[in-house]
Amino acid sequence: MGVIFDFFTLVLMDPMINFLVILDRVLLGSFGLAIIAFTIIIRLVTFPLTLRQLQSTRAMQALQPQIKELQKKFSDPKRRQQELMKAYKEAGVNPLGCLGPMILQFPVLIALFYAVRQGLALSPEALDKLSGHLYSWSFIQNGVPLEESFLGMDLREANILMVALVGITTWAQTKTTVTVATDDKARAQQQMMAYMLPLMFMFFAFSFPSGVSLYWVVTSVVSIGFNVVTYGFPMLKIEPLIKPPVPRVVASEVESTPAGKAPARARSGNESRTSNGKSRSKRKNRRRRS
């Protein structure tokens, strides 16, 4: 674990901390603006991964009617799984496609969280620890300690306004996110989580510095923007700006025929006319004989 943590610190957290200090100095010593700018830049850089995740989720949502039909049709779990995988393959959708980008983004978001928290330096010991993460460039070294005040609030302490904003933006993010539900039970659980998640993050925000809450609010706002761009917002009649590829839903109808018999072949119009013509010729011959 020590090697993994050292690698995580060296490759992700240290560069983010130093970038935060640079932004703080560029933005005239406002650490609050540095957090906002830093969060937006990181989310824009990781947007291709986010877009892939969102499009995979939307493709899975489009396949839900077909998946429900297969689940009703096949009671055997093994056969049902085979048919589901076949449907995914025919539609060109990877059911795990949304997990890859999420897994890749997760370490980045964790490093961003700790970078913001380390930058606040709540105590002299924390400030000394922060100095250990800074590069030797004098422009960065002279940037600490960072200004802790932003819009009249202390970024090192919890703030009731930021707690409320955390809950509101988290709830709004869940409302703009397309979710994949295969049955009524899963849909009910998702609706419950839409209210439980904001309450849970508000509870965390009470114990976090308001600088970390500011990071979460900005992250939620950016995520809402990504969701609207990708999914649109039907309540306001906003169409998605990025049209994802439509999954190739294959709906094949198999005609049921008795066992041991080949399916009846429909006769073409020419065959019908030829048959009728032969029948008429036979009737004419019988009349002549009589």
Average of pLDDT values for 199-219? Answer: 89
The answer to the question of residue 104 being in a domain is yes
Q: Tell me what pLDDT residue 34 has.
A: 92
Tokens 């877009």 found at: 51
The answer to the question of residue 286 being in a domain is no
* Confidence band, pLDDT 50/70/90 cuts, at residue 99: low
The answer to the question of residue 134 being in a domain is yes
The answer to the question of residue 270 being in a domain is no
Average of pLDDT values for 214-232? Answer: 87
Each residue of 138-156: pLDDT tens digit?
A: 899 888 888 888 988 888 8
Report how many domains make up the chain: 1
The answer to the question of residue 259 being in a domain is no
Q: CA-CA distances (angstroms) from residue 183 to 64, 72, 74, 143, 244? A: 9, 11, 15, 54, 24
* Confidence band, pLDDT 50/70/90 cuts, at residue 182: low
Instruction: Record the pTM.
Output: 0.71
Token pair in block for residue 266: 């429909």
The answer to the question of residue 209 being in a domain is yes
Q: Tell me what pLDDT residue 203 has.
A: 92
* Confidence band, pLDDT 50/70/90 cuts, at residue 169: very high
**CB contact at 8 A, 209 and 158:** yes
Mean pLDDT of all residues in the chain? 75
Domain span at 33: 2-236
Each residue of 111-127: pLDDT tens digit?
A: 878 888 888 877 777 88
Q: Tell me what pLDDT residue 125 has.
A: 79
The answer to the question of residue 130 being in a domain is yes
Q: Tell me what pLDDT residue 60 has.
A: 72
Q: Tell me what pLDDT residue 184 has.
A: 66
Average of pLDDT values for 94-103? Answer: 60
The answer to the question of residue 49 being in a domain is yes
Position 197 pLDDT exceeds 70: yes
Phi/psi of residue 146, nearest 5 degrees: -85, 150
**CB contact at 8 A, 227 and 54:** yes
